[in-house]
Amino acid sequence: MDGNISYGLYTFIVKIASTSVFQVSLLIVVVMMLAYHSTNLNDWCTVVAQKNVLLVIAHPDDECMFFSPCAQAMAKYAENVYLLCISDGDYHGMGKIRPKELIKSCKFLGIDRIEIIFNKFLQDDPNANWDKKLLKKIFRDRICQHRINVIVTFDEYGVSGHANHISLYHALNELIHEESDDCIAQIEAFALKSVNVIRKYIGIMDIIWTILLKGNSYVCINSFGGCIASQLAMRAHASQFVWFRRLYVIFSRYMLINTLERIG
Ligand SMILES: [Zn+2]
């Protein structure tokens, strides 16, 4: 009888192990573990170690949809992490709910110093280019107040091409090039590199292009636990977790890999 049970269990395991879904899943886990433990590749943690770091986003949910590997590495290795969200995400009239969702999401990412700006000139709008002068003042005040060493935001394409994301890059780029006082002169600024639409949706398989095109940029890869935290963080944005975002969190490389390029 025992022999029959053992044989049944053995054939069940062999059956599961021979399915292509299992084999692909195993391959993904192995690739992720190798990538995560490759110090040369996963070098973003060395940039933020022991530093005061500021992550600037445009809307609640940017922190997990786009920056979650980078944000979790900051939470793990930096001395202090600050998150600055420039709008309340009120484009669809959810400006009361979304800031609360941001705070919940940040708990999963390990960030608890969160500031959300409520300013009528900085409204969530995909067609609005935000005022650079106003943004620069906001950035400058926080950089000096928190003695920031490293600041991170979107690049000139803003991952999704959203005008608000792009505004953050242009304001930060201008600030670090024109200011030379002590506060600003000592900071290192980084932009989250946008990738093309094919790379965007091939998940961990984008590791191949990430390695080939790394150049002087820094790479941050989520650990297996980090991937779970990213998924939970996105689920904290219940008002935004519609069907296409459910697909996004499965397929997007930004949930797993971030590439950061130095600005200036
Ligand atoms: Zn956004």
Task: Tell me: do 164 and 217 sit in the same domain.
Answer: yes
Residue 174 CB contacts under 8 Å (≥ 6 apart), including other chains: 132, 136
Task: Tell me: do 123 and 142 sit in the same domain.
Answer: yes
Task: Tell me: do 118 and 26 sit in the same domain.
Answer: no
Distance 17 CA to ligand 1 centre (A): 40
Distance 58 CA to ligand 1 centre (A): 5
Distance 62 CA to ligand 1 centre (A): 5
Task: Tell me: do 76 and 9 sit in the same domain.
Answer: no
pLDDT of 179: 67
Reported as a single tens digit per residue, the pLDDT across 100-121 is: 999 999 999 999 999 999 999 9
Say whether 88 sits in a helix, a strand or coil: coil
Task: Tell me: do 20 and 71 sit in the same domain.
Answer: no
Task: Tell me: do 55 and 23 sit in the same domain.
Answer: no
Distance 159 CA to ligand 1 centre (A): 9
The span from the CA of 124 to the CA of 40, in Å, is 38
pLDDT of 125: 96
Task: Tell me: do 143 and 29 sit in the same domain.
Answer: no
**Can you say how many angstroms the Cα of residue 222 is from the centroid of all Cα atoms in its chain?**
10
Reported as a single tens digit per residue, the pLDDT across 170-182 is: 999 999 998 678 8
Distance 204 CA to ligand 1 centre (A): 22
Task: Tell me: do 8 and 31 sit in the same domain.
Answer: yes
pLDDT of 18: 72
Residue 193 CB contacts under 8 Å (≥ 6 apart), including other chains: 155, 217, 258, 259, 260, 261
Residue 1 CB contacts under 8 Å (≥ 6 apart), including other chains: none
pLDDT of 65: 97
Residue 25 belongs to what domain range? 1-37
pLDDT of 31: 72
Distance 119 CA to ligand 1 centre (A): 16
| Tokens standing for residue 137 | 């003042």
Reported as a single tens digit per residue, the pLDDT across 77-100 is: 999 999 999 999 999 999 999 999
Task: Tell me: do 23 and 47 sit in the same domain.
Answer: no
Residue 249 CB contacts under 8 Å (≥ 6 apart), including other chains: 65, 230, 231, 234, 255
Distance 125 CA to ligand 1 centre (A): 9
Distance 244 CA to ligand 1 centre (A): 15
Task: Tell me: do 136 and 57 sit in the same domain.
Answer: yes
CATH assignment of the domain containing 121: 3.40.50.10320
Distance 66 CA to ligand 1 centre (A): 9
Distance 86 CA to ligand 1 centre (A): 10
Q: What's the burial of 194, exposed, middle or buried (CB within 10 Å: 0-12/13-18/19+)?
A: buried
Task: Tell me: do 114 and 8 sit in the same domain.
Answer: no
Reported as a single tens digit per residue, the pLDDT across 129-159 is: 999 999 999 999 999 999 999 999 999 999 9
pLDDT of 39: 61
Distance 164 CA to ligand 1 centre (A): 7
Distance 22 CA to ligand 1 centre (A): 34
Distance 87 CA to ligand 1 centre (A): 9
Distance 123 CA to ligand 1 centre (A): 12
Mean pLDDT of 235-242: 94
Quick one: pLDDT band at residue 3, thresholds 50, 70, 90? low
Percent of the chain surpassing pLDDT 90: 78
Domain count of the fold of the chain: 2
Distance 61 CA to ligand 1 centre (A): 7
Reported as a single tens digit per residue, the pLDDT across 4-53 is: 667 777 777 677 667 777 777 777 777 766 776 666 778 999 999 999 99
pLDDT of 210: 93
Question: Residue 198: pLDDT above 70?
Answer: yes
Q: What is the mean pLDDT of the chain?
A: 91
How many residues comprise the chain?
A: 264
Angle, helices 68-77 vs 98-109, to 10°: value is 60
Distance 26 CA to ligand 1 centre (A): 33
Distance 153 CA to ligand 1 centre (A): 11
Task: Tell me: do 8 and 87 sit in the same domain.
Answer: no
pLDDT of 15: 73
pLDDT of 261: 98
